[in-house]
Amino acid sequence: MTIEYPPPGEPRRPLGPRDPGDAWVIAPSGERYWGRFGAAGLLALDPSRGVLLQHRVSWSHFGDTWALPGGARHEGESACDGALREAKEEAGVPDGSIRPRLLSVLDLDVWTYATLVGDVVEPFEPTISDPESRELAWVPLDEITDRPLHPGFAGSWDLLRGLLDVRPAIVVDAANVVGSVPDGWWRDRAGAAERLMARVAGLTTGGVDGAHLGLPGSTWFPEVSVVVEGQAKAAGGAASGVRVVRAEASGDDAIVAEAARLVAAGRTVTVVTSDRELSDRSAEVGATVRGARWLLDLV
């Protein structure tokens, strides 16, 4: 592998200083890939408008094709941060408008490309905010292949399209998980529930390997619901990204109801409990069940 920086006259990001990541990676076989530290792009999915695509200017690599907003990652930058930064720079995607759902990574050993699939939670109109975009458009899923696509995006679209209907969710039996570790939780049940919520919040930001969820794809960012009951209902507000369900009566009934609600909404649901009867009831409404240790190992 070699690194080749573009000559001073090449029009890469001409409105700002060149980042060290703005360079070509050249594989031993001669293929050239943009991004010394890899590259990342955002597949922003709006439920009513489709996917945000960028019509690339003619002077760019594979110019005059349509692709996802994206580009070279900065040194030390995570794939998610790189995808969101590039989408903001190239398409004016506002901060906070996207909820990450899946990170799919193409790893070629010498270079990686990460696609962040994100759901639009705050609708916005894209704006051409740098010279690399000729046009920006929301394109319905069934019309994407009608356009001339960047070869990299064209090669990954079938895989990505098949994952867009998958929306993982985790429902946590807080009493069972907290009670599985004898750390004095009984002295402060509400505090123990709050600590658990803070820990599981990391799953919504750091993600879960697809293998742990039985799903394809590199990393998923699931929706998380934590069901609390009894004295634990006094636990403070939810950690970021976590939905708290405070059971009015039976905690088991609340867990099954939350799992059923999510399944009906099209989510792929995992219930976390080591209670055998609750496991059977959760499976009956369409959820997969994992034991408390599974979750504790993840967080």
Nearest by Cα to 84 from 52, 107, 59: 52
In the block, which residue shows the tokens 């088991």? Answer: 252
Taking the complete model, does pTM exceed 0.75, yes or no? yes
Q: Torsion over CA of 217, 245, 242 and 50, rounded to 10 degrees?
A: 60
For the segment 206-234, the average pLDDT, to the nearest whole number, is 94
pLDDT in tens, 2-40: 666 665 445 454 445 568 888 989 988 888 888 899 999
Query: What domains sit in the chain, N to C, each tagged with a CATH number?
Result: 2-163 (3.90.79.10), 168-298 (3.40.50)
pLDDT in tens, 144-195: 999 999 999 999 999 999 999 999 999 999 999 999 999 999 899 999 999 9
What percentage of the chain's residues is helix, strand, coil (to nearest 5)? Answer: 35, 30, 40
For the segment 246-254, the average pLDDT, to the nearest whole number, is 96
Backbone angles phi, psi at 253, to 5 degrees: -60, -40
Classify 124 as helix, strand or coil.
Answer: coil
| Residue 118 host element (H or E) | strand 112-120
Q: What percent of the chain has pLDDT over 70?
A: 93
DSSP secondary structure letter of residue 149: B
**What distance in Å separates the CA atoms of residue 233 and residue 189, rounded to the nearest whole number?**
9
Residue 4: predicted pLDDT: 63
Residue 31: predicted pLDDT: 87
Average pLDDT score over the chain: 91
